[in-house]
Amino acid sequence: MPTKRDYYEVLGVARTASSEEIRKAFKQAALKHHPDRNQGDASAEGKFKEAAEASAVLCDDEKRAIYDQYGHAGLSGGAGVDFSQTGVGDILSQFQEMFSDFFGGMGGQGGGRRRDSGRGQDVRVHASLTLADAMVGGKHEVVIRGNAPCDTCNGSGARPGTQPETCSQCRGSGQVTAQRGFIMFSSACARCRGTGSFVATPCDKCRGSGAEERQRKVLVSFPAGIDTGHRLRVPGQGMPGRANTQPGDLYVDVEIEPDERFERHGDDLGTRVQVSFAAAALGTSVQLQLPDGTSVVAEVAPGTQPGAVVTVRGRGIPHVDRRGRGDLHAVVGVSVPQRLSKRAKKLLEELDEELGSASNQSDPEKQPRNSAGG
């Protein structure tokens, strides 16, 4: 007969470990070595049984005291636990509470079901704003729809004058347990849908659901500078809860609509301006109307080339989380006339000749050389 390992060593805990620490160590070992997770691995099944045996002894105060004083020898003669020849299913049934807690998601308080707090339903909506709205901020109405407690039955689902009954199938726990292979599974009771109660005489208005869909409008404040992808949380503006419970929250997902004249890049604004050839050469001032209704003057320097960018600092989108604003960037385009009068052609020819002459005079390489001195 093989020698048994020390139970504390099996679970990887100190000899001073509390019962709760031992339970946690067993759960970890059970998950790691469970046969369903290690199919075909006989050693894993052996380690699973070994951990279960160690837990069964160390979680029993009387058996643990004997083991601490006398070791494995003190547990012989019927006082000990031997899972080496026990089926995994039988072991699971002995630890049903622990495994239903761990595998079935029933919570850690004695396997009790998680009861509905009655808090109102959270609502998520989408809000589309213009670029002007995003720049100035302000309040806008959003329409929300969601389930709220039925006015007729106050959310109980039962016809007025009656009350929901304790579910006979799950006995009010809201959960039923079934064994599949080696694992105990817990699931919501089909009869009461996990509520623990059953409505024998349903409300005529909500048909036993205890809820009805409602629609209402909420005034939401949008901060200046808000952008696509931002989400606002408005506490307590979701759907109402049951009596004496809090309403849910409202979540607003924001999207900024495209603008015909301006592009947004973070907190910067981009736009295009057109100037004449003469204005680009001589310099000019261009007045721009921003989406928020304000105007700004962009200075185009003399000699500005097509495609050049003129930047006006601090005239972009307000920073939503701090003071200041982004910048305004204007890409300059030069308008070239397609039709010219005879006088305009003559003037442009003279201008071209003048510009060419000025260019030659300024470039030493293009100056005529003195042949006598050459």
* Long-range Cβ pairs for the range 301-308 (8 Å, 24+): 304/275, 304/280, 304/332, 305/280, 305/332, 305/334, 306/280, 306/332, 306/333, 306/334, 307/331, 307/332, 307/333, 308/332
* Torsion sign, CA atoms 371, 372, 373, 374: positive
pLDDT at site 91: 62
CB-based contacts of 27, cutoff 8 Å, min separation 6: 98, 102
For the domain spanning 123-256, the CATH number is 2.10.230.10
All residues at 6 or more sequence positions from 69 whose CB lies less than 8 Å from its CB, including other chains: none
Dihedral angle, C-alpha 111, 112, 113, 115, nearest 10 °: -150
CATH number for 259-374 (one of 3.40.50.10860, 2.40.280.10, 2.60.260.20, 2.160.10.10): it is: 2.60.260.20
pLDDT tens for the chain, residues 1 to 374: 467 889 999 999 999 889 889 988 888 888 888 776 777 777 888 888 888 888 888 988 888 888 888 787 777 655 566 766 666 555 655 555 455 444 433 333 333 333 445 577 888 999 999 999 999 999 999 998 877 788 888 878 889 988 888 888 888 888 887 766 556 667 778 878 777 888 888 898 888 878 788 888 999 999 999 999 999 999 988 888 766 678 889 999 999 999 999 999 999 999 999 999 889 999 999 999 999 999 999 999 999 999 999 999 999 999 987 889 999 999 999 998 888 899 988 988 888 888 776 555 555 565 555 544 44
Fold classification of 7-94 is Helix Hairpins (1.10.287)
- Tokens read off for 214: 């409602």
The domain segmentation of the chain, as residue ranges, is 7-94, 123-256, 259-374
What integer pLDDT is reported at residue 110 of this predicted model? Answer: 34
> E strands along 224-267, which residues?
231-234, 250-256, 263-265
Tokens of 233: 């949380």
CA gap 114, 195 in Å, rounded: 9
Q: Which residue type sits at 129?
A: L
* 89, two tokens: 């299913």
pLDDT of the residue at 204: 87
Q: What is the pLDDT of residue 200?
A: 83
Q: Which helix (H) or strand (E) holds 320?
A: none
DSSP label at residue 152 = T
Taking the C-alpha atoms of residue 257 and residue 243, their distance in angstroms, rounded to an integer, is: 40
HSE, CB side, 13 Å, CA atoms: give it for residue 243: 8
Question: Nearest 5 degrees, angle CA 195-CA 200-CA 204?
Answer: 100
